[in-house]
Structure 1
Amino acid sequence: MNLNQWFEQGLTAEQYIAGMNVNQERMNKIIEGFSLSSEEKDQMASLKGKGLKVIALSEDWCGDALLNNPILLKIAEEIEMEVRFVLRDQNLELMDQYLTNGTSRAIPIYIFINEQGEEQAVWGPRAEHLQELVMQERSKLPAQEDPDFADKQKAMYKGLVEMYQADEKLWHAVAKSIIARMTKSE
């Protein structure tokens, strides 16, 4: 399948959100609380009305998707960009074309396409600032062989998800990262 076909078979934002059963409430909290800054709007003004579309490879259970998807939706709304969600676990054929570091099925991955279905940019799974934050938190974990590793890792991810929902600086770090990738391809 080509990218336009993947886009067409994807879920609308409304369908994706309605089908969520893990992070729907958390994601809606970010959607309701986040607004793009004037600077962010100015940075992507040239993209408005260009007919861009985005395929968002995602899953409801993913903490990074919980943070990144609402930001993407606000960007899409601002520049009149259509978004379709494609569930990673049911669409490995597409996912495997966009592996992180050539090996990882990390999500979300955003594939920006033009009206002809040509790839314009790819973003994901995390903004650089968030990757640094996650790596910093992971460095505090004990070795995997440690009996406390699983509990401490679970607590670490829980703490990250709480930060994702509350820290507006993280929201804007994601927005700036996505916008930079989109505008770089102009």
Structure 2
Amino acid sequence: MENYLELKKLIKKELSYTEYMNITEDLINNTDTSRLNKEDLEIFNYTKLNLQRSERIEKTFVPPKELAELITSLNDKQTWMVITENWCGDSAQNLPYVAKLAELNENIDLVIVLRDSNPEIMDKYLTNGTKSIPILIVFDENGNELFKWGPRPERLKKEILEMKFKGIVKPELYEKLHLW
């Protein structure tokens, strides 16, 4: 288990959720796609789609009453650190929920850390040796790690492993993943 106060020394830059979304919007609005190679264009298109997904969730998600009560009842300060990237489809489907929940309690400080800019941080939170994201790590007011979650719910992780074992290729796998 890591200590946030020590990790903070390694983090190149922390972003608020608003900063993260603004950076993503700026990227979408200011990128000349005619200059992108095939791989970068694919990543750009994922990012654009993810922005739309995130914005939809932001507009429609209302936390269930019991969950909202639980979050608002937290009296101690916490830092919720999410390791992610804006091209990540799983993040687009999860980060807006995390942000909405964090907004419910002023004791929660949500910070976004970009995976690719912070390899030392990501390397501390590998999933089966891979740099899978998003990862949510919750720390108490002293920086002690309380728990981590991610990159996906356990049930979905199992389903993905089964699909990979069956030889389902990436495009079909991604489609099934986003329909889940």
With the length of structure 1 as denominator, give the TM-score of the two structures.
0.71
Over residues 85-114 of structure 1, what are the superposed CA-to-partner deviations in whole Å (9 max), with x where a residue is unaligned? Answer: 11001101000011112x111111111112
Distance 2:60 2:144 in 1: 33
The answer for the alignment partner of 2:60 in structure 1 is 33
- Give the CA deviation at 1:8: 9.0
Percent identity between the aligned chains?
32
Question: Residue 82 of structure 2 is aligned with which of 32, 36, 56?
Answer: 56
Mark the runs of 5 or more structure 2 residues left unpaired by the alignment: 29-46
The answer for the alignment partner of 1:3 in structure 2 is 7
- The 8 Å contact of residues 107 and 124 in structure 1, kept in 2 or not, is answered as yes
The answer for the alignment partner of 2:170 in structure 1 is 153
Distance 1:137 1:31 in 2: 30
- The 8 Å contact of residues 4 and 116 in structure 1, kept in 2 or not, is answered as no
Distance 2:105 2:12 in 1: 19
Mark the runs of 5 or more structure 1 residues left unpaired by the alignment: 143-151, 165-186
Kindly provide the amino acid, as one letter, of the partner of residue 34 in structure 1.
F
Distance 1:71 1:91 in 2: 23
The answer for the alignment partner of 1:42 in structure 2 is 69
- Give the CA deviation at 1:3: 3.1
With the length of structure 2 as denominator, give the TM-score of the two structures.
0.73
Distance verdict in 2 for CA 1:108–1:115, change over 3 Å: same
SS in 1 for 2:15: coil
- Give the CA deviation at 1:134: 3.1
Greater CA deviation, 115-124 or 105-114?
115-124
Distance 2:173 2:148 in 1: 28
- Give the CA deviation at 1:133: 4.0
- Give the CA deviation at 1:43: 3.8
Distance 1:6 1:75 in 2: 26
Question: Residue 16 of structure 1 is aligned with which of 20, 26, 31?
Answer: 20
Aligned length: 152
Q: In the alignment, is residue 114 of structure 1 matched against residue 118 of structure 2?
A: no
Distance 1:6 1:17 in 2: 23
Q: In the alignment, is residue 65 of structure 1 matched against residue 69 of structure 2?
A: no
Spell out the pairing of 1:73-112 with structure 2 (5 A cutoff).
73-80=99-106, 81-101=108-128, 103-112=129-138
SS in 2 for 1:57: strand
